[in-house]
Amino acid sequence: MNFDFSDDQKQMRDAARKFLTEQCPPKAVREVLDGKAVYDKALWKGLAEMGFLGVAIPEEFGGAGAGHLELCVIAEEMGRANAPVPFSSTVYLAAEALLLAGSDAQKQKWLPKIASGGAIGTLALFEGKGNPSPNAIKLQASGGTLSGVKKPVPDGAIADFAVVAARTGSSGRDSDISLFLVDLKAGGVEAKALTNLDPTRGQAELTFKNAKAEPLGATGEGWSILTQVLDRAAVLLAFEQVGGSDRALEMGRDYALDRIAFGRPIGSFQAVKHILADMYVSATLARSNCYYGAWALSTNASELPEAAAAARISATQAFQHCSKNNIQVHGGMGFTWEFDCHMYYRRANATALTLGSLSYWEDQLIDRMRKKNAA
Amino acid sequence: MNFDDTPQEAAFRAEARAWIQANAPKQYEDELRKVSLGRTGLKNANMLEVAKAWQKKKADAGWACLHWPKEYGGRGSSPIERVIWQQEEGPFGRLSGMFIIGHGMCGPTMMAFAGEDQKRKYLPPLASGEKVWCQLFSEPAGGSDVAGLRTRAEKKGDDWIINGQKIWTSGAHYSDYGILLTRTDPTVAKHKGLTMFFLDMKSPGVEVRPIKQASGQSDFNEVYFTDVKIPDSQRLGAVNDGWNVSLTTLMNERMSIGAGVATGFPELFDFCNSLMLEDGPAIEDRSVRSRLANYAVKASGLRYTSMRAISALSKGERPGPENSIGKLVAGSMVQEVAMYALDLQGAAGVLSGPEDAEVAGKFQAMLLRAPGTRVEGGTDEIMRNIIAERVLGLPGDIRVDKDVPFNQIPTKGRA
């Protein structure tokens, strides 16, 4: 048994960490947090040059053709650095949808651009409150055009293209839903940036008015493809969450070692030690669930749906737990804008809601476990 | 990343599987599969006898104490082979419960500190289960603070005379031998005046009294020592170096990974799958599903954490203190799972008799046994300290008794 990343993959993780430590310090994240930039363009360019944007994109489409285990280790580092770039929407959602369902021409058109940093992509799924559900999709497709409103769309205000879930039938079945590819710069789509919990990762409202769209995958297959895209993105995003959890834990640990109160480091008080020990426990459980998700993702195993839901739940819980308790260990200083703790708290809670919230994934996990049990 | 055996591991697995298939006591298989926390016995057979017979059979064929050297009754296997064996032994591994302390802690301590003749004499029957060993460390005045123990050992000629009391000794009532930590010098700091011995539990002056636990069962004992004589040849390690000897014992506890810890989740999932509530099947209830999902990811998280540790073992690395999380997470989880299963049973959850209770009272038994799991073998709080200090590198507690002679440490809180 070798339930671990290979030495090459670990080297890639080290390289990504080194790159991000240099190119994405908290100061750079704050440029976006404080609204001085919409995203970190220089970092985005650098990620493309390092080959990280196309790490799981095949070479024939301009990527590095490494694979999903490699993408997992990069994702972990992106989460650790709290990178203010449209990585998850472009790489986990748009690129994965194209890889799963795109025609050769569609892949040729967009994947090389993703890998080179020349195009930002996203998935336009939600229409207001609620979790992923075919019934919640009202945006209408007709005659090669789309009309309706999508929000929140991650990185929607800066995206060049979107994979859009639209209604093509009214039977009340999953087959009413189809996916489309829309060039957001070609007219017919209005984008409005929305204020959200985590300013380092934008959210937008996209209004489609007879916007030209081409089908992505077969008509009526949209929901089935979406489910697979969400599972794949759930594993990748879970690695970001694990990276963020680890960083929040480290920040708390370091502060507990340095901060003196009552004449001793606060990390020598059991009340503080036990908070940090529990953070370690949740981060470790999440990491282990994520490794299983990574294995299932990289081998396209039949266990992927269950593994993805477990990784998603566990990593969401861990990041929320670690980021909130990092603030607690910091005390009052943790609640200032000046300290970095809140950046992870914001990211943790925003990430917990994209792709569907915890209660949605809990429901999914039990459904999937029952199916396996029945089989 | 893969879950595959190496060719060598696969060959070992095949050999182990074939032998278990041909030799295991299959008549108990179903019952052993249903064993859960608080429900560990066999209905129509003496668990102790069945366990000893299985252990002896394994030993005769060279499958006992796999990681021990052959000359001491083991097989000289690698740690990963031991894990593979545990996976293949499956439910029959539950017969090894009474040997865990002897094989996991007493044996390795003897191996490190006993004389060669003693090792050849005592270890093979320990491996084969013919002799059972217990570990006599904890005392009424020294639980989490083991080094606070007060049982005295005084030198008299070539012997040591032991007086005092031990507590929480698992299996003392059926043990033949024990390793015993005593105080030999009360005038120095507490860690510096301890000495380790092994002794025959049938020695005159040893009295074992079972403790009736809060669960109503009796797994543990008090052991009283009144002028018990132990020859100096049965001392393990140097006089007053017992603390370091005990660390060897406790370090070995951590190597026991791979068998998996009981979380109660599989039992709860099965239960919810068949339970009907007023509004329909429990498994279709939104709140039930949410609770189940939360337990599911803890259980799977522990399972995959253990697989990561096994992978490290397979590469020849030693597992570290990070494995403390298994016991910490599973201990409180099994308690919560039991409470939740009873909550789902409503008013009838109060019934605990096997004939009236749901699933024969499995969750009621689990509930009553669960508080012990959070205390035995290191409390939740000690486990958190271990993680905080040895994994995260936080400072140790300020120890006010560290440099104080043992006989000057206060013995009462409120005077």
Q: Are residues B364 and B336 in the same domain?
A: yes
Token pair 């605990």: residue? B352
Best mutation target, B392, B397, B399, B400, to test chain A (most A CBs within 10 A): B392
Nearest residue of chain A to residue B298 (CA atoms): A285
A291 touches chain B (CB under 8 A): yes
- Choosing from B249, B266, B287, the residue where a domain stops is B249
Asked if residue B383 belongs to a domain, the reply is: no
Q: Would the CB atoms of A273 and B314 count as touching at under 8 Å?
A: no
Percent of chain B residues past pLDDT 70, beyond the cut: 97
Asked if residue B317 belongs to a domain, the reply is: yes
| Closest C-alpha to A243, from A30, A35, A88, A34 | A88
pLDDT over 50 (residue B28): yes
- Choosing from B131, B147, B165, the residue where a domain stops is B131
Q: Contacts of residue B292 in chain A, CB cutoff 8 Å? A: 366
Q: Are residues B127 and B12 in the same domain?
A: yes
Q: Are residues B211 and B237 in the same domain?
A: yes
pLDDT over 80 (residue A47): yes
Q: Would the CB atoms of A280 and B325 count as touching at under 8 Å?
A: yes
Band of the pLDDT at B256, cuts 50, 70, 90?
low
Whole-angstrom Cα distance, residue A193 to residue A123?
15
Average pLDDT rounded to a whole number, residues B139-160? 93
Highest average pLDDT, of B99-103, B297-301, B352-356, comes from B297-301
Looking at residue B41, what is its pLDDT? Answer: 81
Asked if residue B365 belongs to a domain, the reply is: yes
Q: Are residues B263 and B343 in the same domain?
A: yes
Q: Would the CB atoms of B312 and A284 count as touching at under 8 Å?
A: no
Do B55 and B128 meet the contact criterion of CB atoms below 8 Å apart? yes
Average pLDDT rounded to a whole number, residues B370-390? 92
Whole-angstrom Cα distance, residue A84 to residue A217?
31
Residues 6+ apart with CB under 8 A from B305: A284, A285, A288, B323, B325, B326
Q: Are residues B155 and B190 in the same domain?
A: yes
Do B85 and B55 meet the contact criterion of CB atoms below 8 Å apart? no
B64 versus B97: which is more confidently predicted?
Answer: B64
Instruction: Output DSSP code: residue A132.
Output: S
| B280-281 vs B276-277, strand pairing mode | antiparallel
Band of the pLDDT at B370, cuts 50, 70, 90?
very high
Q: Would the CB atoms of A1 and B2 count as touching at under 8 Å?
A: yes
- The secondary structure element, H or E, covering residue A31 is helix A26-33
Q: Would the CB atoms of B397 and A268 count as touching at under 8 Å?
A: yes
Q: What is the mean pLDDT of chain B?
A: 92
pLDDT tens by residue, B357-369: 999 999 999 999 9
Q: Which amino acid is at A106?
A: Q
pLDDT tens by residue, B327-345: 899 999 999 999 999 999 9
Q: Are residues B144 and B122 in the same domain?
A: no
Band of the pLDDT at B236, cuts 50, 70, 90?
very high
Return residues 150-179 of A near B (CB < 8 Å).
none
Band of the pLDDT at B258, cuts 50, 70, 90?
very low
Q: Are residues B29 and B120 in the same domain?
A: yes
pTM: 0.94
Q: Would the CB atoms of B308 and A268 count as touching at under 8 Å?
A: no
Asked if residue B94 belongs to a domain, the reply is: yes
Q: Structural domain tally of chain B?
A: 3
Q: Contacts of residue A253 in chain B, CB cutoff 8 Å? A: 392-394
Asked if residue B403 belongs to a domain, the reply is: no
Q: Are residues B16 and B126 in the same domain?
A: yes
Between 2.40.110.10, 1.10.10.10, 3.40.50.300, 2.40.50.100, what CATH number should domain A122-220 receive?
2.40.110.10
Looking at residue A232, what is its pLDDT? Answer: 98
CATH number assigned to the domain comprising residue B266: 1.20.140.10
| Intra-chain end-to-end CA distance of chain A, in Å | 26
The string of DSSP codes covering A54-119 is TTTS-GGGTS----HHHHHHHHHHHHHHT--SSHIIIIIIIHHHHHHH--HHHHHHHHHHHHHT--
- Residues A264-269: contacts with CB under 8 Å, at least 24 apart: A264/B395, A264/B398, A265/B394, A265/B395, A266/A329, A267/B388, A267/B394, A267/B395, A268/B394, A268/B395, A268/B396, A268/B397, A268/B398
Q: Contacts of residue B315 in chain A, CB cutoff 8 Å? A: 2
Average pLDDT rounded to a whole number, residues A84-95? 98
B402 touches chain A (CB under 8 A): no
CATH number assigned to the domain comprising residue B48: 1.10.540.10
Q: Contacts of residue B308 in chain A, CB cutoff 8 Å? A: 3-4, 288, 291
pLDDT over 70 (residue A69): yes
pLDDT over 60 (residue B255): no
A8 touches chain B (CB under 8 A): no
Q: Please tell me the CATH superfamily of domain A223-374, with its number.
A: Butyryl-CoA Dehydrogenase, subunit A, domain 3 (1.20.140.10)
pLDDT tens by residue, A192-243: 999 999 999 999 999 999 999 999 999 999 999 999 999 999 999 999 999 9
pLDDT over 70 (residue A159): yes
Do B153 and B205 meet the contact criterion of CB atoms below 8 Å apart? no
Q: Contacts of residue A7 in chain B, CB cutoff 8 Å? A: none
Looking at residue B257, what is its pLDDT? Answer: 47
Do A124 and A206 meet the contact criterion of CB atoms below 8 Å apart? yes
Please report, for chain A, the start and end positions of each structural domain, with discontinuous segments joined by +.
7-118, 122-220, 223-374
Nearest to A288 among B286, B304, B328 (CB): B304
B145 touches chain A (CB under 8 A): no
Average pLDDT rounded to a whole number, residues B211-237? 94
* 3-class SS string, chain B: CECCCCHHHHHHHHHHHHHHHHHCCHHHHHHHHCCECCECCCCCCCHHHHHHHHHHHHHHCCCCCCCCCHHHCCCCCCHHHHHHHHHHHHHHHHHHHHHHHHHHHHHHHHHHHCCHHHHHHHHHHHHCCCCCEEEECCECCECCCHHHCCCEEEEECCEEEEEEEEECCCCHHHCCEEEEEEECCCCCEHHHCEEEEEEECCCCCEEEEECCCCCCCCCCEEEEEEEEEEEHHHEECCCCCHHHHHHHHHHHHHCCCCCCCCCCHHHHHHHHHHCEECCEEHHHCHHHHHHHHHHHHHHHHHHHHHHHHHHHHHCCCCCCHHHHHHHHHHHHHHHHHHHHHHHHHHHHHHCCCCCCCHHHHHHHHHHHHHHHHCCCCCCHHHHHHHHHHHHCCCCCCCCCCCCCEHHHCCCCCCC
Q: Classify domain A7-118 by CATH number.
A: 1.10.540.10
Residues 6+ apart with CB under 8 A from A253: A267, A276, B392, B393, B394
Asked if residue B405 belongs to a domain, the reply is: no
Q: Would the CB atoms of A284 and B314 count as touching at under 8 Å?
A: no
Q: Which domain holds residue B261?
A: 257-378
Percent of chain A residues past pLDDT 70, beyond the cut: 100
A302 touches chain B (CB under 8 A): no
Q: Would the CB atoms of A313 and B297 count as touching at under 8 Å?
A: yes
Q: Are residues B41 and B105 in the same domain?
A: yes
Nearest to A298 among B1, B389, B395 (CB): B1
CATH number assigned to the domain comprising residue B164: 2.40.110.10
Q: Are residues B265 and B169 in the same domain?
A: no
pLDDT tens by residue, B241-254: 999 999 877 776 65
Dihedral over Cα of B155, B160, B161, B163: its sign? positive
Q: Are residues B288 and B227 in the same domain?
A: no
Residue B382 has a CB neighbour count (10 Å cut-off) of: 17
Q: Would the CB atoms of A1 and B314 count as touching at under 8 Å?
A: yes
B44 touches chain A (CB under 8 A): no
Please report how many Cα atoms fall inside a 13 Å half-sphere around the Cα of residue A120, on the Cβ side: 23
Q: Contacts of residue B273 in chain A, CB cutoff 8 Å? A: 370, 373
Asked if residue B388 belongs to a domain, the reply is: no
Average pLDDT rounded to a whole number, residues A58-73? 97
- Choosing from B131, B147, B181, the residue where a domain stops is B131
Do B160 and B153 meet the contact criterion of CB atoms below 8 Å apart? yes
pLDDT over 80 (residue B259): no
| Closest C-alpha to B48, from B136, B137, B176, B208 | B176
Asked if residue B209 belongs to a domain, the reply is: yes
